[in-house]
Structure 1
Amino acid sequence: MTYAPAAPAPALQGVPEPTAARLRRPRWRDPRLVTGVVVVALSVALGSWVVSAASRTVPVYVADGALTPGEPVTSASVRVADVRLGAGTARYLPADEALPADLVALRVVDDGELVPLTALGADAGVRSVAVPVATGLSDRIRPGAVVDLWFVPSPPAAAGEVDRPEPRTLAEQVVVEQVETAEGAIVVQGQVTLHVLVPADALPAVLTALSDTGTVAVVPVAGDVR
């Protein structure tokens, strides 16, 4: 018994035959392609800028030794250092231009510290005074230390006198500018001359005490860690 092949089903009237979808090559005028290229370019540019900004250095001045109030700030008292500061650069003394004339320190700037603009000015209102000290000094007495100056009167000449003047304060919170020792002297034992920065209003009392019969004692301020 033989079978004849089935006849194909008749096509439906009005229904289009399906066609295979073809991948179209993107064109430069395609908005999606243009947007992707722009995003990639911006990302590369931004990354390059960040790396370049992070590695960029600027020259600023650094204290070459402790700067004390009233001390002139010159090329001999500072040195140049290249640092990465970013937005904080404007807070420090730039080294890409000449130092202003008559520039002085208004507060202590420690050795090796970046010199902030807020620590500089034209007049600190203090005067340097040499104070000889014959007694032992604390090892905390060094340039930049904050001390009080006291006057200790000499004992009465007559043995029967009992009314001995009490020590009195000459100046408070003054800064040690320089510690000058005699040749071969040890700071804590030998003769020492301190150069201290005395405010102008306390200057008469300090100078009077230096010429009086007695001694000037230098007392470190508690809590000062300079």
Structure 2
Amino acid sequence: MHVARRSGRAGEQSVGAQQVLPAVTSRRPPAWRSPRFGVGILLVVGSVALGSWALDRAASGEQMWVARHDLAPGDPVSSEDLRSVAVAWEGDEGVYLTAADVVPGSVAVSFVGAGELVPSAALGVAADVDGRPVTVPVPTGVVVEPGVLVDLWSLPRPGEGEPQQIADGAQVLGVEEDSGLLRSGSGRVARVLVDPAVVPAVLAVQADGGAVTLVERPGS
């Protein structure tokens, strides 16, 4: 019986037929195609657009007046006391002062702090000022600033009565050094706007040897 033998050539040929494939390498996409790069570009473009929008908005705003310094009721007001700024105001017209609203002889009828927009209602004539200024000593340890509200109390001479409140919610117009007439313990006096009916009471206490002092109102 003849038994066929398998030749080893076939095996040798199959081994020899194997090919060496080139190594596969990964390629990164260009930086300009990276998602992070795209987000960065959008952020830059967005910030530039926002800045341009803000500048255009400010440039197209209405010219309004800002107080250069504190304006107290009764103070004369002219363009030299104000500076013009562009404001993109979207509220009602006439709320704040514009260049055309300042007329000769204008005075402040309500307090306006330095750097604040000036409301139209804050200007008028001297007859519009609702109150009269009085000067009272500032107690030691008390800190008041122009514009805040205080209460006024009369302090009779010792043994001649109890302290009494004579003014409620009076506005401080200014604070200055004491010239010595009021004998302020702190060395400072405050000009306070009070109702005209209060003025005689203040003068009577001071003339009688008593004192008028101010008391802070928290949150004012």
* Normalised TM-score (structure 2): 0.62
1:221 partnered with 2:206: no
| Residue 98 of structure 1: how far off its partner (Å) | 6.7
For structure 2, the residue ranges without an aligned partner over 5 or more in a row are 1-54
Note the residue ranges of structure 1 that are not aligned, 5 or more in a row.
Answer: 1-50, 157-163
Letter in 2 for 1:173: G
Residue in 2 that maps onto 1:6: none
Q: What per-residue deviation string (whole Å, max 9, x for no partner) do you get for residues 60-110 of structure 1?
A: 111222323333323343222222224545321112x37223323333222
Partner of 1:7: none
Partner of 2:110: 107
| Deviant stretches of 4+, over 6 Å | 51-54
3-state SS of 2:147 partner: coil
Aligned length: 160
* Matching residue of 2:163: 167
Counterparts in 2 of 1:69-108, with a 5 A limit?
69-86=73-90, 88=92, 90-95=94-99, 97=100, 99-108=102-111
- Which residue of the partner structure matches residue 131 of structure 2? 126
Q: Percent identity?
A: 36
Q: TM-score, normalised by structure 1?
A: 0.61
Q: Describe the SS at the equivalent of 1:210.
A: helix
Closer, same or farther in 2 for the Cα pair 1:179/1:76, shift >3 Å? farther
1:208 is aligned to 204
Indicate the SS of the match to 1:172. Answer: strand
More helix by share: 2
Q: How big is the shift at 1:176?
A: 0.8
CA RMSD in angstroms comes to 2.7
Give the counterpart letter for 2:85 in structure 1.
Answer: A
- Partner of 1:91, secondary structure, is coil
User: Partners of 2:198 and 2:186 in 1: how far apart?
Assistant: 27
Question: 2 CA distance for matches of 1:179 and 1:121?
Answer: 24
Distance 2:213 2:115 in 1: 30
Is the 8 Å Cα contact of residues 56 and 84 (structure 1) preserved in structure 2? yes
Report the secondary structure of 1:60's partner residue: strand
Cα shift at 1:148? 1.0
